[in-house]
Amino acid sequence: MKADIEPRHGRTTKLAALVVAALLAVTFPLWAGDLYQLHLAALIAAFWILIGGLNLVIGYTGQLSIGHVGLLAVGAYTFAILAGTLGLHPALAVGAAGALCGLVGLLLGLPSLRLPGFYFAMATMAVALIVGEFIMANDELTGGGIGLAVPALPAPFDSPAGFYYLALALAALVTWFSWNVARQMWGRGLIAIRDNPVTAQSVGVPVFRAKLKVFVFSGITAGVAGAVFASLQSYITPDTFVFELSLFFFVCIIIGGRGSIVGPLIGTVILTALPELVAPLAKLGNFFYGLLLLAVVLLVPEGIGRVFEVIAERLRPRRVESVPVSPDLRRLARALGTQR
Amino acid sequence: MWSVIVSGLATGALFAATALVYNVMFSTSKVLSITTGHIAMLGGVFGAYFISGLGMPWIVGLLGAVVVGAAFGWLTDVLAIRRVLARSDEHLWLLSTLALATMVQQSVALWWGTEPKPFPRLIPQDFSAGIADQKFWLPIGMAIVMALGLELFYRRTMYGKLFVAMSEDAFAARARGVPTDRIRSLSYVIAGAMGALAGFAAGQLTFAYFALGLTLTLNGFIALAVGGLGSNVGALIGGAALGLLNAFSSYYVGGEFQQTISVGLLMLILLLKPEGLLGSKSIRAV
């Protein structure tokens, strides 16, 4: 249960902002300038399906997975092979992609989540490279370096707007799931694991199982995201899933701030859209992401959101009300008296 | 068969050298830097640039590459380590070195190009030399010399002893008047020079290629974890074992699953003997 600390007006502004943002997202196809913007918005939604799940792993539990692009690739290829080559119904293929990636997440998490920070990061990075190797090696299945055409989704989702709504709905679902996890006791437990695993264990948080469950969840979302992403791209090659894409996911979360859902969401929207809208940034690409990550780590490790909080505190200092507590000595004496 | 063994040992020597570079940085700062492989990549790329691009004699090219590596090592300390170690969050150095590694890799990709370019021959030798080829023996010799030099440095020189003292207990060393910040900077400079030397010596094996860094970071780390964190002999053994395993698996199974097999080795060692073959057990205070 969340204690009611925030002042009323703060919550209403937050709610209003949320409603406005949701309205903007839902009506986007009506006022979007061209099809490319709609494509970009669908891409943001597809990325957010992955990042929303990954956020629980990185932002809340503090497990620095830098290999989720491997899971994205597994999801994308599963969808492409099942729905394209084998002709399965696309909805089933999306589900299968999610399930398979959840399984991969389980198999990967079982050994690697026991390892300390750097070892875990290296193990996940290795998975990204291994997936690339497998795709290149099994070329009769995956098309190797040539790639694979991905079928479009059936009727209501084959138009750009329909596809956008599907991606948006999935993204909203993931957001809702992760918000449910984050605000309950679960989320507190995860944050405790991030901040001090020993303490978390000593107060009864099942450290390894909590990590594993969250990691498997992020695997499932990565698989679904992969399927949506592949269908959006309509053609996938191993070069689509470069390791730097992992870094991009990572930067979105770190910049948005760890232990928050809105922050990484805004980070995803801005970082996906920015290189597309500002041409010189697209050329620099990963250099820009690296620079951004370095700047955030050195200057505001809590995320960009912290900057706004500091500014807001300057503009409108929070009033700290002191609540004097006067001891009820007579009641205490009575209580002590009855005890004796 | 001999060619498989020799080429495996040569790749293994490069992994071992990378593991040694990890060790040098780890000893003073307790940081495992993601830039480790990228230092070696810089050594190879700049060596090729100085010798083939600018037409310098190879000894000048070697010196230039080592200077570039040392400068990058120093830069790593200044940008990614110094401020981050002042805060006590243990994950932050992972992020800052990852950021720096990405920036370096992307800069090299933009400037040098994304194609692997050939590294010049250093010693005049016929290309038909087979297993006596310099591209195999240079990295092997370099790794052995580097490990011996490091051991001498740790045992015989004052600065080496300061490194050991800091790796035992940095706070105690500071209390005894060791300028820990300067020593850490020095260790990063030395690590940068060593990494560039390794990349330079193995240049004919790996080519001057911008994406080498990440692979080396991973494989050098596997060699380190297999041999035992902090142990230089362990790094040599781990590197050789990993290189041989890679060579034999690509000889018998095919080259497609190299990464999978290396990571399998890592997982196996971590399950059976988490501290590595020669590492010291760390006891965590609770």
Q: Which residue has the tokens 């089933």?
A: A92
How many domains is chain A partitioned into structurally? 1
**Inter-CA distances, B7 with A179, A188, A325, B138, B213, Å:** 53, 52, 77, 11, 20
ipTM for the predicted complex: 0.86
Q: How far does A61 lie from chain B, in Å, by closest CA?
A: 12
- Does residue A76 belong to any structural domain of this protein? yes
Distance from CA of A185 to the nearest CA of B (A): 24
Residue A123: its chain B contacts at CB < 8 A?
263, 266-267
B225·A247 Cβ contact <8 A: no
For residue A84, the one-letter residue type is G
User: Is B94 in Cβ contact with A198 (below 8 Å)?
Assistant: no
- Give the pLDDT confidence score for residue B88 in this predicted structure: 65
Q: Tell me A56's DSSP state.
A: I
> Is B33 within 8 Å of chain A by CB?
no
Residue in chain B closest to A108 (alpha carbons) equals: B267
Tell me the per-residue pLDDT of A82-119, one tens digit each, with 9 for 90 and over: 998 888 888 899 999 999 999 999 999 998 888 888 88
Q: Is A289 a member of any domain? A: no
Contacts of B90 in chain A (CB under 8 A): 117
**What pLDDT score does B278 carry?**
79
Domain assignments of chain B as residue spans, ordered by start: 12-120+133-211
Q: Quick one: DSSP state of residue B278?
A: S
Query: Would you say residue A281 lies in a domain?
Result: no
Residues of A in contact with B214 (CB under 8 A): 125, 129, 243
**For residue A296, is pLDDT > 50?**
yes
Task: Specify which residues A235 forms β-bridges with.
Answer: A149
Q: List alpha helices for chain A, DSSP H.
A: 8-31, 35-55, 68-79, 90-112, 117-137, 139-142, 160-183, 185-195, 197-202, 207-233, 243-256, 262-277, 279-284, 286-299, 305-315, 329-339
Separation in Å, CA of A94 to nearest CA in chain B: 27
Residuewise pLDDT in 10s, chain B (286 residues): 888 899 999 999 999 999 999 999 999 988 899 999 999 999 999 999 999 989 889 999 999 999 999 999 999 999 999 888 887 666 788 889 999 999 999 999 999 988 899 888 888 887 777 777 888 899 999 999 999 999 999 999 999 999 999 988 888 999 999 999 999 999 999 999 999 999 999 998 888 898 899 889 999 999 999 998 888 899 999 999 999 999 998 888 877 778 888 888 888 888 788 778 877 766 555 4
Task: List CB contacts (< 8 A) between B80 and chain A.
Answer: 294
In a domain? residue A136: yes
Is A170 within the bounds of a domain?
Answer: yes
- Judge whether B253 is closer than 8 Å to chain A, CB to CB: no
Of A109, A92, A95, A60, give the one whose Cα is nearest residue A216.
A109
Residue A1, domain member (yes or no): no
pTM of the model: 0.86
**Cα–Cα distance for residue pair B216/B219, rounded to 1 Å:** 5
Nearest to A298 among B83, B89, B257 (CB): B83
Considering the domain boundaries, does residue A276 fall inside one? Answer: no
Coil, helix or strand at residue B69: helix
A267, pLDDT greater than 80? yes
The distance of B244 to chain A (nearest Cα, Å) reads 19
Question: Chain B contacts of A129, Cβ < 8 Å?
Answer: 214-215, 218, 259
Q: Are B229 and B277 in contact (CB under 8 A)?
A: no
Q: In chain A, which residue's Cα lies nearest the Cα of B222?
A: A122
Cβ neighbours of A125 in B, within 8 Å: 214, 218
Please, which residues have CB within 8 angstroms of residue B218's CB and are 6 or more apart in sequence?
A122, A125, A126, A129, B37, B259, B262
Picking from B83, B91, B267, the nearest residue to A117 by CB comes out as B91
